[in-house]
Amino acid sequence: MATMASRHTAVVTLPTDTQILITRDFAAPRHLVYKAWTTPELVKRWWAGQRGTMKTVDIDLRVGGKWRYVMDTNGGFEIAFHGEYREIVPNERIVNTEVFEMPGASDSDAALNRVTFTEADGRTSLALLVETPSKEVRDAIIESGMEGGMQEHMDLLEEVAISLL
């Protein structure tokens, strides 16, 4: 059964001063979205988008388990994030903390991410609610998205995907 490779769009809203909500639909059942979200070798293939490559993806998927992602950016520097899993309902929901590792950042700056996967008709709606400790942290996270190099389009990744078929 061939599915049209339709292009979807992420929607970002700011429900309160300290929250960011990111929603997106995927043309795949939720157990696959969950798998791609939680399997290190798969996360390595999408998490950096086109902004770099993933150097490290450590996932200890259990309550109290830690995660850490390190990306080599196209700009030649590394950025790293880490956190801890707080709640895991396989294929349904993951709650974890997230800290952007930079000088002066501490775990008290951690955001709490709640990602939910909802399936209907073989498609999955993903909602990622980011709860930050303050409006300042929330705003800093939004601004971090503007730094990345997003000039080029998805040609490279599409080529890679086609070569894997």
Partner 1 sequence: MARAATTTDAFNAVAEPRRRQILDVLAEGERPVNDLVQVLGLAQPQVSKHLRVLREVGLVDVREEGRQRLYRLNGRPLKPIHDWVKGYEESWNERFEALDDVLDELKLEENGDGDDGE
Per CB under 8 A, 49 contacts partner 1: yes
Q: CA-to-CA distance for 145 and 143, rounded, in angstroms?
A: 5
User: For partner 1, which residue of 103, 106, 108, 146 counts as binding (CB under 8 A)?
Assistant: 146
Q: Smallest distance, Å, CB 135 to partner 1?
A: 6
User: Residue with structure tokens 């086109």?
Assistant: 50
Residue 128 belongs to what H/E stretch? strand 123-131
Report, in Å, the least distance between residue 32 CB and partner 1.
5
HEC per residue, 14-79:
CCCCCEEEEEEEECCCHHHHHHHHHCHHHHHHHCCCCCEEEEEEEECCCCCCEEEEEEEECCCCEE
Is 160 an interacting residue with respect to partner 1 (CB under 8 A)? Answer: yes
The least distance separating partner 1 from the CB of residue 72, rounded to whole angstroms, comes to 15
Determine if 11 is a binding residue for partner 1 (CB under 8 A): yes
- Could you list the residues that contact partner 1 (CB under 8 A)? 1, 3, 5, 7-18, 20, 22, 24, 26-28, 32-33, 35-36, 42, 45-51, 135, 141-146, 148, 150, 154, 157-158, 160-161, 164-165
